[in-house]
A = this chain, B = another copy of it.
């Protein structure tokens, strides 16, 4: 018998996506450990066991969030680069700013992304992470081709800059420095990187 008391039919129709939406909001507002499947179910208007059809356990939902997070990050980076013109330093600054911005505006999500990623068996997440990381790698290669960066393994070249960006996000999220300083710090870090990694004349 169909439920007439509520508007929703027996099948939700889009429960998986609805749960992920709600989860992302709760994650942002109250952090991972305040995220409960039963609460998500209640908010979404389904029974407490319904989420199980889409996510075998809590971790599976967190993994899905992480995977989606990498896709969002990829989009953010692509869009920043698309609007950055052709000048290499400008492209580097744009990507760095976009990354750090994402990292501070989605602090809990980013943390989840990295902790989920390095759990054994998280192949889907690792796969999803390749897109944004590949983008950054390609940017370094581009800098090398244009003679703005030293030659060598792009990953090794970029890692200190990436670490610095990650660190800037980390100390902002940890309230060690004020969020307003973010973009200034990023610019300083990128400039220092560009100077320190210039090819020898």
Does A47 lie at the interface of the complex (its beta carbon under 8 Å from any beta carbon of B)?
A: no
Q: A171, B192: Cβ atoms under 8 Å?
A: no
* Most interface-central of A115, A160, A188 (chain B CB within 10 A): A160
Which of chain A's residues 121-172 have a Cβ closer than 8 Å to chain B?
159-160, 162-168, 170-171
* Most interface-central of A167, A175, A177, A195 (chain B CB within 10 A): A167
Set B117, B160, B171: member contacting A159, Cβ < 8 A = B171
A44 to chain B, nearest CB (A): 24
Q: B33, A174: Cβ atoms under 8 Å?
A: no
Set B33, B159, B167, B181: member contacting A162, Cβ < 8 A = B167
Set B114, B164, B170, B175: member contacting A117, Cβ < 8 A = B175
Does A25 lie at the interface of the complex (its beta carbon under 8 Å from any beta carbon of B)?
A: no
Does A27 lie at the interface of the complex (its beta carbon under 8 Å from any beta carbon of B)?
A: no
Q: B171, A170: Cβ atoms under 8 Å?
A: no
User: For A181, what are the chain B residues with a Cβ–Cβ distance below 8 Å?
Assistant: 159
Does A118 lie at the interface of the complex (its beta carbon under 8 Å from any beta carbon of B)?
A: yes
10 tightest Cβ-Cβ pairs between the two chains A and B: A167-B167, A163-B167, A118-B175, A166-B167, A114-B174, A164-B164, A163-B168, A192-B196, A166-B170, A164-B167
- 11 inter-chain pairs at a CB distance below 8 angstroms, sorted by A residue, are A114-B176, A117-B175, A160-B164, A160-B185, A162-B176, A164-B164, A164-B189, A166-B166, A192-B192, A192-B196, A196-B196
